[in-house]
Amino acid sequence: MPIVRNLGRAANQLLQSSGCGCGVSLVPVRAIGVSPRQVASDASFHSVTFSESDHPRVLITGGLGQLGVGLAKLLRKRFGKNNVILSDIRKPADNVFYSGPFIFADILDYKNLREIVVNNRITWLFHYSALLSAVGEANVPLARAVNITGLHNVLDIAAEHNLRLFVPSTIGAFGPTSPRDPTPDLCIQRPRTIYGVSKVHAELMGEYYHYRYGLDFRCLRYPGIISADSQPGGGTTDYAVQIFHDAIKTGKFKCYLRPDTRLPMMYLDDCLKATLEIMEAPAEALTMRTYNISAMSFTPEELAQEVQKYVPELQMTYNVDQVRQAIADSWPMNFDDSNARRDWGWKHDYDLPELVTTMFSYLGSDSRIAQAN
């Protein structure tokens, strides 16, 4: 049994009763028998059909972020609604709550997270809980706890219970000394944000657990993700979402990056498709555990030219934010994802023209867009 330490009965009882101390990376000896609370918690899932029971039992942590809700929708369509549990520490919107199973899960509460995995017979875990770059820089101790200690809890639980574990990484895992055009899967990584550092840590720890303990760890480095379903949050790549909202509302957009700033990007549907494909890929097909994935790479100027096909009068101006520009200048301009395409057949659906068409089909009810079409 991987990682399980010979702590003795007394130590095991201590761990079981103390919740493993929120961040203590010890994996307790498996308990013999099932407590009444476990039986009660599990009972609600005993009514699934036989066909549903053949599918993986999925838990998504940090599920109320940009990707979690969309991923849950995709997985429920494929594996059945009751086989995919969305979790977070925040209260979900009504439409999310009623769309399928949702539970409270704090990744810093080791005991609670372990109970969720055991009681609900989880076999796949998608670990999306993380503080992103801007929030992380404003609160480094919290980012360290969530992004690193929380990861350790998830790794230990996944290894003990033989889960297939997915942890996303990011273009932020690279730094100014990394090759940028293109950026290969394996190269120097020296990020300068706590978010980026924690993602490199996650990549290396996941690979270590795979080689040391046999954990089925899988990781994709996401480029900038563009979605019509979420509002831009002020991140470095969020200009590529904001431009659509501003073009529709005002016909004017002020960009905080230089017009020639090239970054790898991807439409949300491609991102979710890639995530499911890497999880379904046969283990023997994978030559590595962390892959780059890419779809397109463009500059603000190139995006604006494509947007102007729908909003010809769009006025594009530039007011460079030095902080975000410095971050962008340290990130890849293009991802080399040839290994993903070779090993498990990755192929994107959305290039820049398809991206812009799709975004306006979701957002564009303005008269000037209708006239352009």
Tally of domains within the chain: 1
Domain contains 103: no
Q: Please name every residue paired with 216 in a beta bridge, in sequence order, or none if there are none.
A: 164
pLDDT range class, residue 1, cuts 50, 70, 90: very low
What is the mean predicted confidence (pLDDT) over 327-356? 96
Percent above pLDDT 90 for the chain? 75
**pTM for this predicted structure:** 0.82
**Domain range enclosing 302:** 130-370
Quote the CA–CA distance of 213 and 191 in Å, as a whole number.
28
Give me the pLDDT at residue 233, please.
66
Q: CATH number, domain at 276? A: 3.40.50.720
Pick the catalytic residue: 98, 110, 128, 195?
A: 195
Please, which pLDDT band fits residue 37 given cuts at 50, 70 and 90?
Answer: very low
pLDDT confidence of 234, banded at 50, 70, 90? low
Q: Is residue 346 part of a domain?
A: yes
Q: Residue 195 catalytic? A: yes
The average pLDDT across 294-305 equals 97
Residue 316 CA, chain-centre distance (Å), reads 31
* Residue 289 belongs to some domain of the structure: yes
Pick the residue with more confidence: 233 or 88?
A: 88
Per-residue pLDDT, averaged over 100-114, amounts to: 97
Least confident of 31-45, 278-292, 327-341: 31-45
pLDDT number for residue 134? 73
Instruction: Give tens-digit pLDDT for 313-329.
Output: 999 999 999 988 988 99
In this structure, is residue 235 part of a structural domain? yes
Amino acid at site 348: H
Assigned token pair, 115: 């109970």
Q: Which residues pair with 222 in a beta bridge?
A: 170
Residue 112 has pLDDT above 90, yes or no: yes
What pLDDT score was predicted for residue 53? 53
> Which pLDDT score is estimated for 323?
83
Q: Distance (Å, rounded) from C-alpha 26 to C-alpha 271?
A: 33
User: Is residue 144 situated within a structural domain?
Assistant: yes
In a domain, 69, yes or no: no
Angle, CA 112 vertex, CA 222 and CA 142 arms, to 5° = 50
More confident: 153 or 39: 153
Average pLDDT of 348-371? Answer: 81
CA distance 64 to 66: 7
Residue 123 maps to a domain? no
CB atoms within 10 A of CB 42: 15
Tell me what pLDDT residue 4 has: 39
Q: What is the rounded distance in angstroms from the CA atom of residue 109 to the CA atom of residue 20?
A: 8
Establish if 137 belongs to a structural domain.
yes
| pLDDT tens, position by position, 134-178 | 788 889 999 999 999 999 999 999 999 999 999 999 999 999 999
Q: 358 near 241, Cβ under 8 Å? A: no
